[in-house]
Amino acid sequence: MTAPLYAIVTGFGLVAGSVGITGVLGLTWTLRVGAIVPLGGLALEMDPLAGLFLALVGFSVAASSCYAVGYVTARRGAGAYVAFALALGVVPLAANAMTFLLAWEVMSLASWALVLDGRDDVPSRRAAWVYAVMTHAGLACLLAGMLLLASHTGTLHFADWRAASPTLPAGLRNAVWFLLAVGFASKAGVIPLHVWLPLAHSAAPSHVSALMSGVMIKLGVYGLLRAGLEWLAPGPAWWGGALLILGALSAVVGILYALVDADLKRLLAFSSIDNVGVILIGVGGALLFVRAEAESLAALALIAALYHTINHAAFKTLLFLGAGAVVHATRTRSMEAYGGLIKRMPWTAACFLAGAVSISALPPLNGFVSEWLTFQALLQSVRVAQPGVSLIFALGTAALALTAGLTAACFVKAFGITFLALPRSDAAEHAHDATVSMRLAMAALAVACVALGLGATVIVPALANVAASVLGAPSEPTHVAALTFSVVGGFASLSPVIVAAGLVAGLVAPVVFLVAAGSPRRARAGETWGCGRIVQTPRMEYTAGAFADPFKRVFRFFYRPVKRIDLEVHPESRFFVRRMEYANPARALFDEWLYRPVLRGMRALAGYAQALQSGNAAAYLGYILAALLALLVLR
């Protein structure tokens, strides 16, 4: 049994989270141990941004591990899990390139092992393989970028990079940014580097999926923040513009794919791509505002991005844990086999609903506050008097709004099809609720979603400190008075607590009214009305596929659905159908139009390279000699 181990990791997670919070509040420290790691030694440094991400890692690990106590029964994977959790915590603290890359690689390898999870079926192997290839392509970009920067600045320490960055030549700055951005963006799952994410996140066990979606991809965002705002600052405007456009694209494309997916965990994984997009809209906006010398707006956009990072960690971890409980109870990931689980798994349903309401940005929970902040940052683009920049911001606003609407639709589907109506399979009919430790983890996260929403007046100023430390310029992007906070220049203000109080009063008001009006408020139990048919069966319910159909039609140009009908008719007459199968899958455009041509090209190149591969040891020694000579000549 591994339960004690996971309980210990829960404790360590809570401690790490608390240490992270002290970092956010301004307690900084450094730790250097020379001998352990070559090239600069192990170096850790705590600053507010590192503290924020450490807190994120700590609390998410605590929730996932607490869940794992009652969820994981096999011994396998425990070591990889501990390594994964540890590496997640080291990455934000790393103060030099060597420490960072080592922790990064341990994080990738451990999560790869967890994705594979000892299984040998084709989909799992494919998921793990695609993940391994993409993550190492990303690592190669990071290595190249960091070595390029190190060779120019002559140091591997991040603090020195920050000091040296104003002297970088423009060409090198752009080249390093491109390499680092590609590396970090592939970890963050930005379109079009996202292909590994839906495969890996849905294949991994749910407490690991929760960490991968909730925290690991955020470390890609962390890297982008460090690279764009510290190591290579100040960058040209196109960095911010590109991030904003890619963010908007990821948000819309991610949620469009989530909307039509009937695999609950893959739906959540696609929705993570969407949320990373929302975060990057804020990050890109911050870079653009920095360039336009609008410090307080840059700080506002950064606060919005960081707030959404925290919120997404809370609700996506919650949703993945909830999905894990559902998959555990029904033994399938297909939503078409779910239904009616709210009566069989009331705890899981209530927690999942809290997550769904948060991610749909409904007031007064946390998702609403961060999305509201992002909107306010985008809407203020008018203060940057450049038409081109304004156009990018207007498109970002429209994309974010479309994303918000589609997200609400997607999570109506995710919750409604999974938990409501009648069960569509025997497994769903006989499902059982989650164990106590799983419930505890989910309930804690649901409470966190509420607290992160209502506590906005405390959290926003704390994030303003983090933003000030990253941007290196103190500014006052927000103003807090009593329960209301307002953004720069009195542009807009919000009070989640008063909205919540109003909603509670609004829930009570109709009850009081009904009593006062003398309404009997009686309800008889009846059957669902069904046009006179005798008995209601699950076959009459709307399915996940049917629910998404209007979207599939509206966005046909994007989904390019293929319709497959397989009919078996009676030999006497084709009007008597014996068996019918219907499938209407959406096509993965990025696989077909981007990755397949690239892979085909690479295979062709590999074919040419095969000519060199004679199998003759003398020839190989000749190659090495030639390479050495070439290096000496070039030197």
Angle at 468 between CA 463 and CA 473, to 5 degrees: 165
Cα-Cα-Cα-Cα dihedral of 433, 438, 439, 443, to 10°?
A: -140
Measured from the CB atom, the residue of 196 and 352 that comes closer to another protein is 352
**Side chain identity, residue 364:** P
Q: How is 197-247 classified by DSSP, letter by letter? A: HHHHHHHS-HHHHHHIIIIIHHHHHHHHHHIIIIISPSPPHHHHHHHHHHH
Q: In this structure, what DSSP letter does residue 190 have?
A: -
Closer CB to another protein, 222 or 419, in the complex: 419
Judge whether 391 and 321 are in contact, CB under 8 Å. no
Q: Using an 8 Å Cβ cutoff, are 71 and 324 in contact?
A: yes
How is residue 395 annotated by DSSP?
H
Sign of the CA dihedral with 424 first, then 429, 433, and 438 last: negative
CB of 407 to another protein, least distance (A): 8
The one-letter amino acid code at 487 reads V
Nearer to another protein, 143 or 350 (CB): 350
Residue number with CB closer to another protein (553 or 570): 553
Residue 392 near residue 306 (C-beta atoms within 8 A):
no
Separation CA 156–CA 570 (nearest Å)? 74
Residue with structure tokens 């469009």? 256
Residue 608 backbone dihedrals phi, psi, to 5 degrees: -65, -40
> Within a 10 A sphere around the Cβ of 517, how many other Cβ atoms?
9
Q: Which two tokens stand for residue 383?
A: 């203060």
What is the rounded radius of gyration, in angstroms, for the C-alpha atoms of the chain? 26
Q: What angle do CA 68, 69, 73 make, to 5 degrees?
A: 80
Closest among 74, 220, 223, 237 to 161, alpha carbons compared = 223
Q: Please choose, from the candidates 173, 158, 167, 186, the residue with its C-alpha nearest in 3D space to the C-alpha of residue 238.
A: 173
Both tokens assigned to 249: 């694209």
> Is residue 444 exposed (0-12), middle (13-18) or buried (19+ Cβ within 10 Å)?
middle
